[in-house]
Copies of this chain bind each other. A is one copy, B any other.
C-alpha cells in the first residue's frame, strides 16, 4: 500500500472502525484475530495477482494491508504488521510505517508480525481464502480450522457476530458503496455509448472496464458482457455483435477499500429493441420495478423473489408464451424455465456478500436452501432490515440446456406454447439489476441514476 491510497481517508475511518469493534465486543467475549492474506503469484512468483485482503479483515481493519493481522478484544485493536524492508523503497517507493498505519486505523497497539504468536490464546477467527495464510492461522492458533463456510465453536460464534454486523451497512460503508455504484454507472454509460462503434463483446467490455480502471477502482467480479446472456456466467468476450442482438452487461466496480457494486443492463446492439425484445424486456422490467417497490424492513426477501416469479409468469402468460394461471405456474416452477436464478443477493465488501461463509449469512437461522427448481438458487432468505444492501436482478433467458432438457420438456409440455416461444428467438438473455438499500422507511436504489426504461436506454445507445 502506498501512502497515497490513504490520502483521502479522514478520521471517519478510525471512528467507524472503533464503532464496529465496539459492536463486536458486545457480541463476542473471546479475543478475535483476523488475517488479511497475501497476494498470489500468477505465472511466476514476482508476477502477482492484485492483492485482495480478506473481507472480514477489511471490515475491521479498514485498509488493504498485505500480510497483516489484527487482534480485537473488548473494543481494543492491535495491529500486527511488518515494516517494509529499506531496500523495498527502490522498487515500491516510500510506504507508510506500521505506526503511521496504526494511527490511520486507530489501533491501540502495533507490533511486528512475529509478536502475534504471543497473543493468540483462546482467540476466535475465520479461515481465509489464501492457502498460505490459512496454514499460518492453523499454526499460530495451534488448531486445525474448519473452512469459513463450516465454522465450529468460538469461530462459529464469531462468524455469527460478524454476520450480524456486516448485514447492516454503516455510513462509512454506504459512502464507499455509493462511490462504487457511481463509477459502475459511468462504466455502463460508456458501454452503451460505445456499442455502436464496437464489433465484438470485448470492445464493449474494454469501454466499460476502462472507466473502472480510470477511477482507480477494480472489477468486483469477472464482468459478463455478452450477446449470449443465456449463458449465465459467460466470461468470454469473443462474439461479434450483430444488428439484431441484445447485449447483456453485468459489470461492477470495487473501491480501493474493497466495497462493491453490481449492475446489469441489457441493450440492443443496433440501439433499437425489436418488438419481441421490447415485449420481454418490459416483463423483466415490471418484475424489477415491483420488487424494488416492495422492499422495506420486515419483508421476506424470499417473497421478493416469489413476486418476481409471479410477475414474470403473468407477463409470459400475457405474451402467450406460458399458458395457465400465474399462481399455478409459479407453484410448479414454470417461471424458472426462463428465470432460473434467484432475484439477487447481499452486496457489500463481497459482490455476493459473505459468500465465503456459505449460506450462514444469506440464510436466516434454521433456514436451508429449497430443493425446488424455482427456489434452489436463491442466495438470500432473510427478513430485510435497515442498512441491508441487496441486488434486485430479475431476468428472462432461453437456455438451451433447460428448454431442450427432456425432463423439463415433459413436465412443462402443456404450459409452454413452444410455437409462440419460437417467435421470440431474438431474445436469448435479458437481465436488469440494481443495488437497493433497505432504509428505515422503505428503500433507496443506489444505482438509480442509470436508466432502465427502454426509451432511455435506446437514447443512450444510439
Query: Residues on A close to B: CB < 8 A?
Result: 2, 4-5, 7, 40-50, 52, 54-55, 86, 89-93, 129, 131-132, 198, 200, 202-203, 205-207, 209-216, 221-222, 228, 231-239, 258, 340, 349-352, 354-356, 399-402
Complex partner residue of A206 from B43, B213, B356, CB under 8 angstroms: B213
Q: Measured between C-beta atoms, what is the minimum distance from A195 to chain B in Å?
A: 12
Q: Measured between C-beta atoms, what is the minimum distance from A149 to chain B in Å?
A: 8
Q: Measured between C-beta atoms, what is the minimum distance from A164 to chain B in Å?
A: 19
Q: Measured between C-beta atoms, what is the minimum distance from A365 to chain B in Å?
A: 21
Q: Measured between C-beta atoms, what is the minimum distance from A53 to chain B in Å?
A: 8
Tell me which residues across on chain B come within 8 A of A205, comparing CB atoms: 213-214
A-B contact pairs, 13 of them (CB 8 A): A4-B239, A40-B40, A42-B49, A43-B129, A44-B356, A90-B232, A91-B232, A92-B235, A131-B132, A200-B216, A202-B215, A206-B210, A210-B214
Asked if B228 contacts A93 (CB within 8 A), the reply is: yes
Asked if A43 contacts B349 (CB within 8 A), the reply is: yes
Asked if B350 contacts A4 (CB within 8 A), the reply is: no
Complex partner residue of A214 from B5, B46, B206, B235, CB under 8 angstroms: B206
Q: Measured between C-beta atoms, what is the minimum distance from A376 to chain B in Å?
A: 12
Asked if B92 contacts A47 (CB within 8 A), the reply is: no
Asked if A4 contacts B351 (CB within 8 A), the reply is: no
Asked if B90 contacts A238 (CB within 8 A), the reply is: no
Tell me which residues across on chain B come within 8 A of A238, comparing CB atoms: 2, 4-5, 7, 216
Tell me which residues across on chain B come within 8 A of A211, comparing CB atoms: 206, 210
Complex partner residue of A46 from B46, B202, B352, CB under 8 angstroms: B352
Give the complex CA separation of A41 and B222 in angstroms. Answer: 12
Tell me which residues across on chain B come within 8 A of A41, comparing CB atoms: 129
Tell me which residues across on chain B come within 8 A of A5, comparing CB atoms: 236, 238
Give the complex CA separation of A46 and B377 in angstroms. Answer: 14
Give the complex CA separation of A297 and B258 in angstroms. Answer: 49
Which chain B residue has the least Cβ–Cβ distance from A129?
B41
Which chain B residue has the least Cβ–Cβ distance from A211?
B206
Tell me which residues across on chain B come within 8 A of A400, comparing CB atoms: 89
Complex partner residue of A236 from B4, B212, B356, B399, CB under 8 angstroms: B4
Q: Measured between C-beta atoms, what is the minimum distance from A277 to chain B in Å?
A: 21
Asked if A202 contacts B213 (CB within 8 A), the reply is: yes
Asked if A47 contacts B228 (CB within 8 A), the reply is: no
Asked if B131 contacts A131 (CB within 8 A), the reply is: yes
Known A222-B50, A238-B7; contact A402-B90, beta-carbon cutoff 8 A:
yes
Asked if A43 contacts B90 (CB within 8 A), the reply is: no
Known A5-B236, A7-B238, A213-B206; contact A49-B49, beta-carbon cutoff 8 A:
yes
Known A4-B236, A93-B234; contact A212-B206, beta-carbon cutoff 8 A:
yes
Most buried by B among A207, A354, A401: A401
Complex partner residue of A401 from B7, B52, B90, CB under 8 angstroms: B90
Tell me which residues across on chain B come within 8 A of A202, comparing CB atoms: 213-216
Give the complex CA separation of A237 and B5 in angstroms. Answer: 9
Tell me which residues across on chain B come within 8 A of A47, comparing CB atoms: 221-222, 350-352, 355
Known A209-B213, A213-B202, A236-B5; contact A222-B92, beta-carbon cutoff 8 A:
no
Give the complex CA separation of A131 and B238 in angstroms. Answer: 31
Asked if B45 contacts A129 (CB within 8 A), the reply is: yes
Q: Measured between C-beta atoms, what is the minimum distance from A184 to chain B in Å?
A: 14
